[in-house]
Amino acid sequence: GQVGQANKGIVIGDSHTTATFTNFVVRNNVIYNAADGIKTSQDVPGLQAYNNIFYMLGSTFPNSSEAYANIDSSTTLFNFNAYYNGRLRWIVNEFVGGTQYFSLSSWRSGTGYDANSVEEVNPLFVNISTRDFHLQASSPLRNSGRSDGTATGTPVNMGAYITDAEVIGPLRATDAVAP
């Protein structure tokens, strides 16, 4: 899926309920121009995030930008994600014990997460101004993700278009439509 120009990208949980949220998998998304990438409002045991592209976070909301917020230690997998634009105030805010990580390298060394993720690698979208988040043929994120988020998974594209054959949202003029 795609998320664009919102204060929060993907929010999991609800602080106004006692419901339990477990085993969420957030994969193959483009989170564009939002203040936060993925935010939880409560502990989410088993949370996984992989093959996501976080693009221009904080450009509309420069004083509050983070890839992840309120992430707890029961998260099981963060890997093969791409962070692009350098406007992030921190990678993670309000991690267990209140630890904040201000860079991908400190997040990796402090948690072991995102070992195969990249930062400041331009995803080379087809046309960002028209929100065409397909990857160009020369994109470094083509076949850089993994089908299951682990190093042994099958290579897939990062972002919303795993195989580049998916149609998400309005059709482009170049998309074929069966009669």
Question: What is the separation of C-alpha 93 from the centre of its chain, rounded to a whole number of angstroms?
Answer: 15
Residue with tokens 């028209």: 130
At 76-106, the pLDDT tens digits run 788 999 988 755 555 665 555 567 777 788 8
Tell me whether strands 66-69 and 36-40 are parallel, antiparallel or unpaired.
parallel
The rounded distance, in Å, linking the Cα atoms of 49 and 130 is 26
Classify residue 103 by its DSSP letter: S
Q: pTM value? A: 0.83
pLDDT tens, 2-27?
444 456 778 887 667 777 788 889 99
Strand partners, 11: 39
Q: Tell me what percent of the residues of the chain surpass a pLDDT of 90.
A: 30
Q: How many helical (H) and strand (E) elements, i.e. helices and strands, does the chain have?
A: 1, 16
Segment (H or E) for 49: strand 48-50
pLDDT at 4: 46
Tokens of 103: 């860079």
Residue type present at position 31:
I
Look at residue 99 in the predicted model and tell me its pLDDT: 76
